[in-house]
Structure 1
Amino acid sequence: MIERLRQQRLVALFAAGWALLNFPLLTLWDRPVTVFGLPLLPLALFAGWALLIALAAWVAEAPEDDDGP
Structure 2
Amino acid sequence: MNNEQKEVIQDIYNTLEAVAYNTSMEYIHNCVDGKKELIENVNREEHLQAIIEWALQQIENNFDFENDTEMEEL
- TM-score of the pair, normalised by structure 2: 0.48
Shift of 1:63: 3.4
Counterpart in the other structure of 2:32: none
Q: Work out which of the two has the higher radius of gyration on C-alpha atoms and give 1 or 2.
A: 1
Which portions of structure 1, spanning 4 or more consecutive aligned residues, are displaced by more than 6 angstroms?
none
Gapped regions of structure 2 (runs ≥ 5): 27-41, 64-74
Counterpart in the other structure of 1:13: 15
Counterpart in the other structure of 1:52: 51
Higher strand share: 2
Higher helix share: 1
Shift of 1:44: 0.4
- The answer to which structure, 1 or 2, has the higher relative contact order (CA under 8 A, 6+ apart) is 1
Q: CA RMSD in A?
A: 2.1
Q: Percent identity?
A: 11
- SS of the residue 2:7 aligns to: helix
Gapped regions of structure 1 (runs ≥ 5): 30-42, 65-69
For 1:21-54, what per-residue CA distance to the aligned partner results, in whole angstroms no more than 9, with x for missing partners? x2xx23xx4xxxxxxxxxxxxx602211211111
Aligned length: 46
